[in-house]
Structure 1
Amino acid sequence: MTATASMLVIGDEILSGKTKDKNIGVLADALTMVGIDLIEVRIVSDEEGAIISALNAMRTSTTYVFTSGGIGPTHDDITADSVAKAFGVGIGVDPRAYALLSDFYDRTGREMNAGRERMTRIPDGADLIDNPVSIAPGFRLGNVHVMAGVPSVFAAMLESVLPSLNGGVPISVQTLPFNCGEGDLAESLASIDSHFPTVAIGSYPKLTNGRFTTEIVLRSRDKAALDAATQAAQKLRTQMNAD
């Protein structure tokens, strides 16, 4: 069976529009490359009940869960505590995380203050996720991977996580541009779609210089079916352009 994943984006700043999320696309691209389907993304506020409720639903419905945000040094960084409560385990300063950060701050001449120590609080039984950018680790508990919201740190943590995931056959993608609107293609695309059930076909309209065009994207793990469906779509494209 194909492994599935969900993502929980945590932060009032995302919901308010102050911060624009960049991590969803990074995760989706990475998981596609290793054959894992990202099937759900939720965004919740920095509120314990919302985090716990979403997390408990997602970790029972998908193979893997990835979170971003809320593991920093400030009072509103409550993700670690919320994850611990969702799993019903304790949380405290982790000696491994503390050693990593205290050594880092010693070397850079900065103080290991209370805020920075807060980033070493890890739920009991969790494994650490390496953070080569800013050192403060994420963690893995069960099938949940808890990572930073800062895009560069999230991407670095994800790189360290990917080798531990059990993926499958990567999805191959073909993209074809059409010089017409979706309405002109709908019936023909439906016919192609019905002939190739293992190929997902999406259409994405664009408005360029006052004219509608459409980009057709075909996705599948079945390379032979994808090639055949792409040929059918290419034939349709040639016909539409000729008209």
Structure 2
Amino acid sequence: MKGAAGKKSLTEHRNEQELSLVARSALCVLWHAEVEDRGGPELDWKLRVFAEERGEFVDITEVGENWRVHAWYFGRGSEQALRMGEFATARIRANAAGYRQEFMCVAGDGSTLWFQEDTRVEKIGEKKWHLYGVSMDITERKKAEQERERILAELQAALADVRQLRGMLPICANCKKIRDDAGYWEQIESYMRARIHVEFSHCICPECAKKLYPDLANDR
């Protein structure tokens, strides 16, 4: 029996090490909770979070210096935490098999983190549940999405500018200035630059070169 107990302890230790490696590699927060409905507006939660350094599930106050876990739990903000709690309570009381939430947190250094949290709900008794959660750090994915949205917005703005240039443009037959919608006359370069964000490089075409520099043109 002693040998069996020792073998089990060794297996558990190996599993905890593997779980720590998974949590670090996947950039995620692992947690589970016993939840009970005592009739109040909020549910009673007994939460335990996986502490990577210790390789075990502990109370949030014992998690140590893991900045990602601290941001995940303490950095949600009161309004967002309230909305998330109300959503989770509704899903749990409806005996849903699980639910997913995306939320933003602020770390201790002021940086922003995004999490996608998937929670499995298991009913264990009358108004009692066990929850298993994986909160994946999706910050880099969110940054990529935001950058893509920024580029798309710029392209849409550029397209809108190009559309504004369609149709008839009042242009001076002599100096080639363009009259804008307010009635002011602008150089064509400044008019175009303000509307389609282009820059101009100036050169002289062969025909104008002959007029301006006939001696040079004849030498050629």
* Rg (Cα) greater in structure: 2
* TM-score category, normalised to shorter length: under 0.3
What is the TM-score when the length of structure 1 is the normalising length?
Answer: 0.20
The TM-score, its normalising length taken from structure 2, stands at 0.21
Of structures 1 and 2, the one with the larger relative CO (CA 8 A, separation 6+) is 1
